[in-house]
A and B are shown apart, each in its own frame.
Chain A
Amino acid sequence: MKYSYYPGCTLKTKAKELDVYARKCAEKLGVELTEVDDWQCCGGVYTTSRDEIVTKLSSVRALNNAKERGQSLVTVCSACHNVIKRVNYDMANDAFVNAGANNYLQLATPYNGETKVIHFLELLRDEIGFENVKKAVVNPVKRRISAYYGCLLLRPGNVMAMDDPENPRIMEDFISAIGGTPVVSPYRNECCGAYLAVTDPAVPARHCGYITDSFKAKGAETVITACPLCMYNLKRNSGDLPVVYFSEILAEALGVK
């Protein structure tokens, strides 16, 4: 199985574990990930306004590169995934955005949203299959684990189309596949406070307080996330509750850590 892969800036720096362990696990599971050529930062957040064209171009370039290779595009960071998937949706469904981006890029063939964008969790569920992930586990992670989805993997539900945005299960099924016990909290898809970490850290501190208190009250021993910013905000406010990337805990289970 061969895929194009978009790691993203933060995964090359502050969130190396998210990238390195995703690659190791992919290899172990027989998946070949090839980085997009000359990829650029996705910008961290999708710009919702229709007249924001320039801020969507880096995603279009990555999507078009995968299209030229005839591959689906795999992401692992929640934020990159949200931005790229939403831009892809616009390229397929918003004639104004499509015209602006194609007019600027002047590609050999216009890009119209052809590439399939898959988050690593979807790769595990839909392409490899959780039952095959389970078979590859050598060190079952026998812990009570809470999945923290945050906003970016799930919303907007009609575009992200990963799971039920209000009652998701993909991460819980992932936890079960690697031998853990999923611990569900209603705060798992509430926002961590996001980029207000830069302007007013009291905001993420408050939100992450609610979130991690809820995980603790439910008896979680570990929290998993796919987002470096959720990781940062949660970690600073979770006390002694460990927060790890889902790819790192998968690597532990697959014996490649």
Chain B
Amino acid sequence: MDLSEQAENIKRISGVDTKKCLRCGKCTASCPNYEDMEYHPHQFVYFIENGYLDRLLKSDAAFRCMTCFACVERCPRDVKPAKLIEAVRLTLVRQKDSNRLKPYDIIENLNADLPQQAIVSAMRKYTK
């Protein structure tokens, strides 16, 4: 798939209509992980709409999103940026040898209190 086909696929699997965005920036203003993400929710929407998907695919921004859905809740146009971000993440991890988290990596932050929920959630977000 070329980049524009990939962008179409991201829109299709996320169910997001990027054209609905009015560029108000409220999603990004709501994002608690703003300072940690190279690109912000409104940029995911704008880049996918306007042919800059390559920037998102080269960045780890999608993997810094916590899927907290604040951007979704507060968007006045119901664009659902977090769903777009998840589709970008899936586009990456669905490629061969592209898992962002290997079982051995977990050991580094493993301790007696870490809940199973954290591990299964991380595996779901960072691997296929």
Contact = CB atoms under 8 A, between A and B. Distances in A.
A49 B87 contact: yes
Contacts of A175: none
Nearest to A201: B109
Contacts of B1: none
Interface string A1-27: 000000011100111000000000000
Given A45-B125, A155-B69, A207-B32, A195 B86 contact: no
B56 interface: no
Contacts of A217: none
Interface string B1-26: 00000000000111100000000000
B36 interface: yes
Given A48-B67, A151-B70, A191-B32, A228 B83 contact: no
Classify the secondary structure of A's interface with B: loop
Contacts of B114: 14, 197-198, 232
B46 to A, nearest CB: 20
Interface string B31-43: 0110010000000
B73 A10 contact: no
B117 interface: yes
A55 interface: yes
A13 B120 CA distance: 14
A44 interface: yes
A67 B33 CA distance: 39
A151 B68 contact: yes
Contact of B119 (A51, A193, A198, A235): A198
Interface string A229-243: 101100110000000
Given A79-B121, A190-B70, A229-B118, A199 B126 contact: yes
Interface string B46-76: 0000000000000000011011111011000
B77 interface: no
A195 B106 CA distance: 11
Contact of A203 (B36, B83, B113): B36
A194 B66 contact: yes
Contacts of B126: 199
Interface of B: 12-15, 32-33, 36, 63-64, 66-70, 72-73, 82-83, 86-87, 90, 100-101, 105-106, 109, 113-122, 124-126
Leading 6 A-B pairs by shortest Cβ distance:
A44-B121, A191-B68, A198-B122, A155-B69, A195-B121, A44-B120
Interface of A: 8-10, 13-15, 41, 43-45, 47-52, 55, 77, 79, 151, 154-157, 165-166, 190-191, 193-199, 201, 203, 207, 228-229, 231-232, 235-236
